[in-house]
Amino acid sequence: MGRLVPLHTLALLFLRLGVTSFGGPAAHIGLLHYEVVQRRRWFSDSEFAEMIAVTNLIPGPNSTEMAIHVGRRVAGWPGFFVAGVCFILPAALIVGALAAVYVRYGRTPDLRSVLDGVTPVIIAVIAHATLSIARSTLARRTSWAIAAAAMALALAGVNELLLLALGGLAAIGAGRLVGWGLALAAMPSVGAMTVASAGPAVPLSGLLLFFLKIGSVLFGSGYVLIAFLRADLVERWAWLTDQQLLDAIAVGQVTPGPLFTTATFIGYVLRGPEGALLATIGIFLPAFVFVALTQPVLPRLRRSPVATAFLRGVVAASLGLMAAVAVALGLATLTSPIPILSAAAALLVLARWKINSVWLIVAGALVGWGARGFRGFM
């Protein structure tokens, strides 16, 4: 390996990043680049760029996978676990604590007002992220067409896993698109098989398997997670309401670390501390598995035109899913003047100025608090 970093040094670095890394995966990776390339010189720019490239070829949260890659490269297998766990743990603990407060006080007027004010901002953040990522990644007309088709089909109720698979196949020009699509459509999801006979209570096994499935198939930005959560938890099984999902997203936004800790919040709301633990393990475990299995072979895979094309199609379809979520949530919740104006203002600010979305969420919370006396407008 040529270099070994003490585990306590690695642990302290990623615990600190886990507490201070606001702003989403791109911001997390920027902070990580400063720490391990510019400040500590553990990697060259080209080595760091290669790690970014290989994480884009596997499912899961990119910034978490980057942490795992760094740990493995500089401290072996112990570092593999220490870096990943220390990056995830602070956010999971913070989100779990906020979920406990939410479950206890979430229906009181004060907190409800704050969350009502945050909801329009979250919708604007999703919409802006979708547009920004699309402009920077969809360089081909076929990619835009895949994204648009995925959005329309998602709004029509087509399974999101099927859309991702079809997006990848469309990008590589697969001749058997229809046959693959019918085969995938006929396959029940892991979560659906688990909860079919579970009754109204949410089973812990179903919760774990659902988030294992999500962590195993999710490409693209953390915001794509929202599309998967809404499709199953809100529409298919009605375990959550749209408002509860938006509240979970809001908490994920205002806390540091990976957005995937939204799963921690949802797990707590559905099944308390046990649910929070299992949901967190379920959604992050595949990232460790994929990094362990693919680190030696992904540099070669990245040079494959077929693999590159498939990933391009999956990313395009993922953006279509994100757009569909923004539209669906907007139609469901932006139904009165103040939320509509808040969402429009947040979108304008995001479009014109490079501002951390956390500050907009704080502003939305203040708007919700201030408007609590005018409930007819919210």
Query: Would the pLDDT of 68 be above 90?
Result: yes
Which residues 6+ apart lie within 8 Å of 28 measured at CB? Answer: 17, 21, 63, 66, 257, 258
* Angle in degrees, CA 343, 21, 325, rounded to 5: 35
The more confident residue out of 242 and 173 is 242
First to last CA, the chain: 58
Query: Would the pLDDT of 186 be above 70?
Result: no
Q: In whole angstroms, what is the distance from residue 6 CA to residue 230 CA?
A: 42
Q: Of all helices (H) and strands (E), which one includes residue 358?
A: helix 357-370
Predicted confidence (pLDDT) per residue in 316-372, tens digit: 887 787 788 788 888 888 888 888 888 899 889 888 887 766 678 778 888 877 776
Q: How confident is the model at residue 308 (pLDDT cuts 50, 70, 90)?
A: confident
The more confident residue out of 263 and 19 is 263
Which residues 6+ apart lie within 8 Å of 330 measured at CB? Answer: 123, 127, 343
Q: What is the CA 134 to chain-centroid distance, rounded?
A: 16
Q: In whole angstroms, what is the distance from residue 45 CA to residue 51 CA?
A: 10
Predicted confidence (pLDDT) per residue in 286-297, tens digit: 999 999 988 777
Angstrom CA distances, 32 to 28, 66, 159, 258, stand at 6, 8, 35, 13
| Highest-scoring range by mean pLDDT, 129-133, 194-198, 255-259, 311-315 | 255-259
Q: How confident is the model at residue 3 (pLDDT cuts 50, 70, 90)?
A: low
Name the least confident of 21-25, 251-255, 273-277: 21-25
- % residues pLDDT > 70 (the chain): 81
Query: Would the pLDDT of 67 be above 90?
Result: yes
pLDDT at 23: 58
Predicted confidence (pLDDT) per residue in 70-94, tens digit: 999 999 999 999 999 999 999 999 9
The more confident residue out of 372 and 191 is 372
pLDDT at 367: 82
Asked if 368 and 116 count as a contact pair (C-beta separation under 8 A), the reply is yes
Q: How much is the average pLDDT of 290-311?
A: 77
Predicted confidence (pLDDT) per residue in 207-232, tens digit: 999 999 999 988 755 667 877 898 88
pLDDT at 281: 96
Q: How confident is the model at residue 10 (pLDDT cuts 50, 70, 90)?
A: very high
pLDDT at 374: 59
pLDDT at 176: 40
Q: Which amino acid is at 174?
A: A
Q: How confident is the model at residue 22 (pLDDT cuts 50, 70, 90)?
A: low
Q: How confident is the model at residue 188 (pLDDT cuts 50, 70, 90)?
A: very low
What the block records as the tokens of 51 is: 């790690």
The more confident residue out of 331 and 54 is 331
Model confidence pTM above 0.75:
no
